[in-house]
């Protein structure tokens, strides 16, 4: 069981800044995110795109913002459960909550802050008839265990980085790799496109473009896919695995069943006070919440995180007196023993 003061669901910019604000109050944080890396949308969808409305940054790349937020909060030693989705929440008699992920990891905290953005990122599933019946029977939407594909025939569909990168990687593992894409052009990084070209020339990757998989063949396991190539009659390609890699899309997912008040795919909160939900002790901050006048902006998430932490402090330490201290005055004392503080003024007499 992982125990912490504030359990943050979602490691995007709002969740990461929460670690900093909580740390100033000497509260420890642990973050859960379905993605394998922190940053949320900023690292998953648009790391190379600029943002212009972060205060004091005339321009900053989304990926860079993530790095700076991690740097800013690192002395507060946040814990991470990455690549796992928060699935269930159970209120305990002592007022704490236990949150369990899809992989069974359990976390306990007196305060839960949902900073889940638009939800957890799930693979986009192509609308191919019967595809659901073949899930984990030869159809996989993400590659968890590359060894599964050793000496197997693999068909990958998609035109982005993950389709290209996994095609390249699996040439060393699988018996055969076929990449199918609806265009001759690929959206992925140039290096990867060049590498696939090279592997194609060496005969290590079979490229079928412009084409689309429109059917899956097999009884209790995939044995082939039906390929529709532009200008050709549809044909069946024998394969052991079909891996559609069409990127990820956020879905509110299991959080929708936590008993929270939901409106327009977002969690209703009290914005007059502390961004608490209808369940005391559970807060929602950043893009995942809604209230009159809500704006889904990173800078609004920062503000909401800051106020939420004050309320969390009072919940965790109901009897303690507390006044907010400016970091310039109080400095920043990390849990790792580091200390940042304003330099002391030098006093020197004039003789």
**Site stretch for other proteins (CB under 8 A), options 27-35, 45-53, 97-105, 275-283:** 45-53
For other proteins, which stretch binds (CB under 8 A), given 63-71, 144-152, 249-257, 312-320? 249-257
Among the listed residues 80, 141, 169, 246, the single contact to other proteins using CB under 8 A:
246
Out of 58, 127, 292, 318, which residue is the one contacting other proteins (CB under 8 A)?
Answer: 127
Under rule CB under 8 A, which residues in 133-192 are in contact with other proteins? 158-160, 181-183, 185-187
CB of 228 to other proteins, least distance (A): 13
**Interacting residue with other proteins among 189, 249, 273, 324 (CB under 8 A):** 249
Closer residue to other proteins (CB): 49 or 150: 49
Determine if 253 is a binding residue for other proteins (CB under 8 A).
Answer: no
Task: Name the residue among 75, 111, 24, 113 with its Cα closest to residue 323.
Answer: 24
Binding residues for other proteins restricted to 259-278, rule: CB under 8 A: 264-266
One residue of 3, 28, 45, 214 binding other proteins per CB under 8 A: 45
In angstroms, give the least distance from the CB of 88 to other proteins.
22
**289 to 328, contacts with other proteins by CB under 8 A?**
none
- Residues in 93-122 that interact with other proteins by CB under 8 A: 118-119
Binding residue for other proteins, selected from 3, 28, 106, 124, defined by CB under 8 A: 124
- End-to-end Cα distance, the chain: 65
C-beta of 49 vs 325, nearer to other proteins: 49
Minimum gap (Å) between residue 36 Cβ and other proteins: 19
Residue with tokens 């800044």, as numbered in its chain: 17
State the minimum distance, in angstroms, from the CB of residue 235 to other proteins. Answer: 21
Q: For residues 83 and 253, which CB has a smaller minimum distance to other proteins in the complex? A: 253
* Residues in contact with other proteins by the rule CB under 8 A: 41, 45-46, 49, 118-119, 124-127, 158-160, 181-183, 185-187, 246-247, 249-250, 252, 264-266
């Amino acid at each position: 069981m992982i125990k912490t003061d504030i359990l943050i669901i979602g490691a995007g910019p709002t969740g990461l800044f929460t670690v900093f604000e909580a740390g100033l109050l000497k509260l420890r944080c642990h973050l859960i995110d379905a993605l394998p890396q922190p940053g949320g949308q900023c690292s998953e969808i648009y790391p190379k795109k600029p943002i212009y409305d972060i205060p004091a940054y005339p321009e900053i790349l989304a990926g860079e913002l993530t790095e700076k937020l991690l740097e800013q909060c690192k002395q507060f030693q946040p814990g991470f459960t990455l690549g796992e989705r928060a699935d269930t929440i159970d209120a305990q008699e002592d007022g704490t909550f236990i949150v369990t992920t899809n992989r069974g990891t359990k976390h306990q905290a007196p305060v839960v802050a949902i900073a889940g953005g638009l939800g957890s990122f799930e693979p986009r599933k192509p609308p191919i008839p019967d595809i659901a019946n073949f899930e984990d029977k030869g159809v996989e939407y993400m590659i968890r265990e590359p060894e599964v594909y050793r000496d197997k025939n693999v068909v990958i569909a998609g035109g982005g980085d993950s389709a290209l990168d996994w095609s390249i990687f699996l040439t060393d593992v699988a018996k055969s790799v076929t990449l199918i894409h609806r265009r001759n052009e690929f959206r992925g990084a140039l290096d990867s496109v060049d590498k696939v070209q090279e592997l194609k020339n060496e005969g290590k990757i079979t490229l079928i473009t412009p084409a689309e998989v429109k059917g899956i063949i097999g009884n209790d396991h995939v044995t082939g896919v039906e390929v529709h190539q532009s200008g050709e009659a549809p044909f069946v390609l024998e394969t052991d695995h079909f891996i559609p890699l069409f990127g990820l899309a956020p879905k509110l997912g299991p959080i929708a069943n936590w008993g929270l008040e939901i409106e327009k795919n977002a969690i209703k909160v009290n914005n007059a006070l502390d961004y608490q939900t209808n369940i005391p002790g559970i807060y929602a901050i950043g893009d995942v919440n809604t209230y009159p006048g809500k704006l889904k902006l990173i800078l609004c998430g920062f503000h909401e995180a800051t106020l939420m932490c004050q309320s969390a402090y009072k919940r965790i330490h109901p009897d303690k007196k507390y006044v907010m201290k400016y970091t310039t005055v109080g400095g920043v004392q990390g849990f790792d023993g580091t200390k940042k503080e304003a330099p002391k003024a030098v006093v020197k007499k004039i003789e």
